[in-house]
Amino acid sequence: MIGFVEKLNELDLGEVEPLMHMSDEINVLREDEIKGSASREDALKNAPETDGQFFLVPKVIKK
């Protein structure tokens, strides 16, 4: 990898402008759309464990 970068340093880039982005496009994002969402019951329907209101997951951080 270091050899590759050293090889690039041999190029004369004096007249090349720095490149900030690969494209002239700016913020090519989709429009926000309001859509329906799942009810709590539907969201918890296939959960392995739940208390009826939240997902129950194993504790991963020990004090």
Q: What pLDDT shows up at residue 44?
A: 94
Domain parsing of the chain, residue ranges: 39-63
* 26 has a pLDDT exceeding 90: no
Q: How far is CA 38 from CA 41, 43, 45, in A?
A: 8, 6, 11
Over range 8-26, report the average pLDDT: 85
Residue 8, pLDDT above cutoff 90: no
pLDDT in tens, 42-59: 999 999 999 999 999 998
Q: Across the chain, what does the average pLDDT equal?
A: 88
